[in-house]
Amino acid sequence: MDSRSYKDHFFKKAKVQGYRSRSAFKLIELNDKFKFLKNGIKLLDVGSFPGSWCQVAREKIKNGKILGIDKKEVKAIQGVKFVRGDFLDKKLKLIAVEYFKSNIDVILSDMAPNTTGNKSVDSIRINELCLAILNFSKKTLSKDGVVISKFFMGEDFEEIRTTAKKCFKKIDFFKPNSSRNESRETYIHCSRLST
């Protein structure tokens, strides 16, 4: 199966199952591996447009609280609150903290900046977002909470790993099958916050 047919396979599967994008399957695979979507949790999805990760979370979590943040407007999903804005803005971070009123159990980030076409620049920009998520989680995540964030393999990978190791007792790296073969994206899974 070439990469185009591979892409079409997940694209068609998303349409059939009612997901807004093929990226839903990345979260499904991540959860199958790490089992972090549980009933009653408080979950923050950063970079939530078009909403497919929130769709998956809503299916898996009963009696929980889900908040999605994105610069773009996300079409409503029952049981999910969406806020439009830039997560890197302090005001948005405060809104997230206020909404949950206590520590967050799961922070997800599939955030990606608009690409420039320069692989090195794009890698640095997306990895800066990953570092912002890790730093935010230090102050807001529950003790047994989980962070999942996208990043690109590149020259600043070491900085991500070092930062994660300082904050968490357990870190893993995982590239879902539903990621495009040619993509340099992978995901970091962090758990057991260091005290």
- Could you list the active site residues? 150
> What does the DSSP assignment read for 30-54?
HHHHH----TT-EEEEES-TT-HHH
Task: Please give the biggest Cα pair distance in the chain.
Answer: 47
E strand spans, the chain: 42-46, 65-70, 80-84, 104-109, 141-152, 168-174, 185-193
Sign of CA dihedral 86, 87, 89, 90: positive
How many beta carbons lie within 10 A of that of residue 90, not counting itself? 7
Is residue 63 exposed (0-12), middle (13-18) or buried (19+ Cβ within 10 Å)? exposed
